Structure 1
Amino acid sequence: MMTLSIIVLVLYLALCVGIGIYAHRAQSGGTAHEYLTGGSDVGFFVNGVAIFAAFATGGTMLGNMGLSYVGGWGYITAYNAGVAVGYLITAFFIAKVFRNMNVSTVPEFIRERFNSKVLNVIVPIILIGTLTAYLVAQMKVGGLLGERLFNIPYTWSVVLIGAVYIFYTAYGGMKAVTLTDFLQGLIMIAVVLVTGVIAITKGGGVGNLYSMAQEITPQWTQTTAYPHIAYIGGFLVWASVLAILPHTVMRIFSAKNERTGRASLTLGVGMYVITSIFTCIFVIALTIILNNGAALPDNDAAFLIFLDQAVPEIVKAIAYAGIFAAVMSSVSAMLLALGAALAYDLVGALKPDYPEQKKRKLVPVSIVGFGILTLLLSMNPPELLTLLYSAAMGLLASSLFFPAILGIWWKRMNSPGALAGTLAGAISYLTLLWGFDMPPLSEIAVSLPVSLLFSVVVTLLTAPPSEQEMRRITIAHEREFTLSDMNQEV
């Protein structure tokens, strides 16, 4: 079975590399916009599965289950409910306008909507910091898996995975990321369904499985692990960050049209909800039963312990591939967003006349640089990785959610208001995170309203935006912003 696992993994990694080469050849002469959107021609099913794969991270496949085991399924359900709401916000309040504005990234939307040089520098920097923390958390999963599957040191496992995803992301761009995410999403959902059914079968049915786990660990079914403000915070983080999370929003730009983008988001959230129920409830319930509710050596390894104890060897081998797929699908999408934040957004803000072809060449170089940086930072990550990357997402949401949402739907919203909301959200969140001992993720329950307050008050105290500044967003509410519109601006 070890030999079979190695063969499956090698073939899988080779296929990812091959997809990267194919995607590079398909768009090697394209612009930076094409590189970051994959040509904007991805269909509903492929894009939907890719959205699920990009968001169903290594944290979903390991970290969420570990948090369910130690903190109760109610706590992780608050996260997942936020994810569902966040997808709906993106689908119905973000997708159409972002798509019609004909932009490639979230910072580009901010740049086109608000005329603020300071904001154009701050937003990419915030993205770079938060996405780097997110990537470090995901790479821990790859290291854990390599140790268990191949009995090789954590460090070399991280390097193996990193070398592959850095290559196909930098070489093939969004097209490679989308195609590999589609493949990885199919593998993941298959693993989720099979292991969930095994847990239900071995537990004697859903009702019996749940009641047995509840009897062994009563707190698993209660909301007593953390103060209630932590549950509210977990919900708010994901309900707000999905609307501005780059690897979700960029999928809107890669879809054939706005309707396809919305449908893809709906499919993605449906697959994610199924995954959450099967893993964080069914699989963890049986894990509690098999281990009699005992403390685990590493809570993030709860799913790996379940695989060792409950499934046949062939299913275990496929499940390992599924976890590898979860890691690589999320890190590749995040890595592409990191490269875009630096080369496309930050450089674009500092050097507005920077040639398009040079941007196109700089993005993959940035991807390689960030890939190496995250490999180094992931060598000694903390435990409970779900809390690690969720804290980073809390900072991102506190900074950008209301400036983006109000920038779309409130005509009075102006640049000083957006800048004030961004800074107030970020500063208040970091102050609470580093200066006070608060329950996990509860900081956003304060920082998000602070961002809203500063955005509104400063906007009302300063001059409204001009018609010229509002022209592009006004057009985007009705139809796509085209090349002829751009020529009229010039």
Structure 2
Amino acid sequence: MSVEIVFILIYFVAVIGIGIAVSRRSSKDRTGYLLGGRSLGAPVTALRMQSTSMSGYMFLGAGGLGYSQGYYGMWFALGDLGGGVLNLSIIGRRMRKLSHLLGSITSIGYLERRYPSIWTKLIAGPIALICLFLYVLAQLLAGGQGLSSVTGLGLNTSLILSVSIILIYTFLGGYLAVAYTGFLQAIIMVIGMLWILISTVQHVGGLTAGHEGVGELNANLLTMWGADNQYFGEWGVILGALLIFSIGYMGYPHVNVGHMSMKRPSIARKAGLWSTGFNLLFIPGAYLIGMFALLIVPNLDNPELAIFEVAQVVLPPFAVGLVMAAIMAAIMSTADSILLQAGTIASQDLGGTLIKNLSEKAAVNISRIVIFVIAIVGLILAMIQPPGVFDLVVFATSTMGSAFVPAYVCAVWWKKANTPGAIISMLAGAAGAVGAQLLGTGDAYGIDPMMAGIVASVLGIIIGSLATQKSHPVPPEVLAAVEETMRVAPIPKHLAIGEDAKLATQRPGDPA
């Protein structure tokens, strides 16, 4: 058995162990299984959110973009660097408090409570499910390709192994398993990325020598305008690249559920610091490694395997195993969160709407069944090898960000945001992003799909809300909760409504 496989097996045993350790704490009721009982502190909150956000994209898509387009990829990195702290700063504390006041335990249910209507769930749920499915498909494909590349196992065998491990610990521990494994995975990801970055820079003779070598191949790669200088002056495309992983995070249901699981609203401040530290250490490395891979492993058939191939050249065997564990951590930390969130939306939000008086146990079991089905369908499609990881991730995240960012932000910052405005915004944002991607507006008109979608979504919630203020006013209890959310004070018990109202009881003196 190779050293690489030994390291990966140790990692797999560790994440399954976490699932077993927390299973008794998290699976007794819906709040425990889906939110971990709202018990998480700043480090776990921040690193779970960031490991979930980063995904296999960083080790495949980002490396491939650096390999093919050089420093153009840094536009995505610049947006990514501030994404976590922006999300936590803008909606973190307020979303934690408002979700508590409204009795929300799911990120889509939160939207339905803030914008009361069955149509909120029936529109938001399918949009989120489709995007999350495409996103998890990208993770499964990334996991299979990476594991196969390093271990020599067949692609299908690697896919089955990856999916099996994810299902085991997600089934066992629910959200707590996802959160604590995400924390562990984030640490492994940083160590792995820094190790391979340092080894890569040393292998090419230092940063200056590496840049000189890349410049001899194609000087355009050292600019931020693409390999053929094709993005020079294309500010619509560049703004989209900046936005997709910066403000786009605020529209990802599987990320935003992290706000709701915090021990208390004030955790968001410290979590923002942890998030920023993680991003600075982790994000730039992937694009640099991908670019320097041109000097180490030239003429790759699949640029998305650049980081894997570089690792096997510049690292000793035992380190390759650690880096592979880091890559699997990035992939699995996103896949498990997406699967849990998809199961939650399908069972709790959509299923709960159709099935009255759904018991705690039945809701958890339905969620697990949906997770299993989505994972198996994704596994089958991944075996057929769909489009590249980068394309899938950009499509899914652009659509989610466009559809949901205004609805989540306005929920806590704009008292006039109402149900028609939110519904119009979600439909317009999703349609705008999907339509722009299908029409290729980036290449044809210099308008990135994320830009097109977010503009449509913002206009939708503003115009829709203002035009329907009289016919669809914000309900008084919701308005009172939103106003309370804007105060920095403990959560009042008398304002808590909904199925987790018991959680509104805070100890005297607890910060908000």
Which TM-score bucket, shorter chain as reference?
A: over 0.9
Separation in 2 of the partners of 1:431 and 1:43?
40
Could you tell me which residue of structure 2 aligns to residue 21 of structure 1?
Answer: 20
Distance apart, 1:220 and its partner CA = 1.4
Please tell me whether the aligned partners of residues 414 and 459 of structure 1 are also in contact (alpha carbons under 8 angstroms): yes
Cα 1:105–1:481 change in 2 (3 A) is farther
Please tell me whether the aligned partners of residues 78 and 231 of structure 1 are also in contact (alpha carbons under 8 angstroms): yes
Q: 1:390 is matched by which residue type in structure 2?
A: V
Separation in 1 of the partners of 2:498 and 2:163?
45
Distance apart, 1:342 and its partner CA = 0.9
Please tell me whether the aligned partners of residues 52 and 269 of structure 1 are also in contact (alpha carbons under 8 angstroms): no
Please tell me whether the aligned partners of residues 61 and 303 of structure 1 are also in contact (alpha carbons under 8 angstroms): yes
Select 1:270's aligned residue among 271, 277, 283. 277
Separation in 2 of the partners of 1:436 and 1:198?
38
Whether 2:124 is the aligned partner of 1:123: answer yes
Deviates more, 1:169-178 or 1:96-105: 96-105
Q: 1:10 is matched by which residue type in structure 2?
A: L
Q: 2:136 is matched by which residue type in structure 1?
A: L
Could you tell me which residue of structure 1 aligns to residue 110 of structure 2?
Answer: 109
Separation in 2 of the partners of 1:444 and 1:324?
28
Select 2:80's aligned residue among 57, 76, 83. 83
Please tell me whether the aligned partners of residues 136 and 381 of structure 1 are also in contact (alpha carbons under 8 angstroms): no
Please tell me whether the aligned partners of residues 70 and 291 of structure 2 are also in contact (alpha carbons under 8 angstroms): no
Separation in 1 of the partners of 2:290 and 2:83?
25
Cα 1:480–1:381 change in 2 (3 A) is farther
Select 1:224's aligned residue among 223, 226, 239. 226
Cα 1:45–1:438 change in 2 (3 A) is closer
Select 2:495's aligned residue among 463, 485, 488. 485
Deviates more, 1:210-219 or 1:449-458: 210-219
Deviations 1:348-398 (A, max 9, x none): 333464333432332222222222122122113345412221111111111
Distance apart, 1:488 and its partner CA = 10
Pairs within 5 Å for 1:320-469? 320-351=324-355, 353-436=357-440, 438-439=442-443, 442-462=448-468, 463=470, 464-469=473-478
Separation in 1 of the partners of 2:357 and 2:486?
28
Separation in 2 of the partners of 1:83 and 1:401?
16
Computed over aligned residues only, the root mean square deviation of the Cα atoms, in angstroms, reads: 2.3
Please tell me whether the aligned partners of residues 106 and 244 of structure 1 are also in contact (alpha carbons under 8 angstroms): no
Distance apart, 1:432 and its partner CA = 2.3
Distance apart, 1:58 and its partner CA = 1.2
Deviates more, 1:12-21 or 1:380-389: 380-389
Cα 1:488–1:169 change in 2 (3 A) is closer
Distance apart, 1:295 and its partner CA = 3.4
Identity across matched positions, percent: 22
Cα 1:461–1:48 change in 2 (3 A) is closer
Could you tell me which residue of structure 2 aligns to residue 475 of structure 1?
Answer: 484
Separation in 1 of the partners of 2:86 and 2:171?
30
Please tell me whether the aligned partners of residues 138 and 393 of structure 2 are also in contact (alpha carbons under 8 angstroms): yes
Select 2:35's aligned residue among 34, 37, 50. 37
Cα 1:217–1:87 change in 2 (3 A) is same
Select 1:72's aligned residue among 70, 74, 77. 70
Could you tell me which residue of structure 2 aligns to residue 249 of structure 1?
Answer: 256
Cα 1:444–1:284 change in 2 (3 A) is closer
Please tell me whether the aligned partners of residues 391 and 441 of structure 1 are also in contact (alpha carbons under 8 angstroms): no
Please tell me whether the aligned partners of residues 410 and 417 of structure 2 are also in contact (alpha carbons under 8 angstroms): yes
Distance apart, 1:315 and its partner CA = 1.5
Q: 1:485 is matched by which residue type in structure 2?
A: L
Please tell me whether the aligned partners of residues 59 and 386 of structure 1 are also in contact (alpha carbons under 8 angstroms): yes
**Which consecutive aligned stretches of 4+ in structure 1 deviate over 4 angstroms post-superposition?**
479-483, 487-490
Separation in 2 of the partners of 1:134 and 1:483?
38
Deviations 1:259-289 (A, max 9, x none): 22332243123212322222211x2343122
Separation in 1 of the partners of 2:498 and 2:402?
36
Distance apart, 1:194 and its partner CA = 1.2
Separation in 2 of the partners of 1:465 and 1:138?
39
Please tell me whether the aligned partners of residues 66 and 291 of structure 2 are also in contact (alpha carbons under 8 angstroms): no
Q: Secondary structure at the match of 2:247?
A: helix
Cα 1:488–1:273 change in 2 (3 A) is closer
Distance apart, 1:482 and its partner CA = 5.6
Q: 1:100 is matched by which residue type in structure 2?
A: K
Please tell me whether the aligned partners of residues 100 and 477 of structure 1 are also in contact (alpha carbons under 8 angstroms): no
Structure 2: runs of 5 or more not aligned: 502-512
Deviations 1:92-143 (A, max 9, x none): 2101111112133321221111122212111111111001101111111211
Distance apart, 1:254 and its partner CA = 2.6
Separation in 2 of the partners of 1:265 and 1:205?
32
Could you tell me which residue of structure 2 aligns to residue 161 of structure 1?
Answer: 162
Distance apart, 1:406 and its partner CA = 1.8
Deviations 1:289-340 (A, max 9, x none): 224xx43210110011212222222211221121112111111111111111
Separation in 2 of the partners of 1:412 and 1:352?
31
Deviations 1:117-174 (A, max 9, x none): 2121111111110011011111112111232233222111101110110111122111
Cα 1:199–1:133 change in 2 (3 A) is same
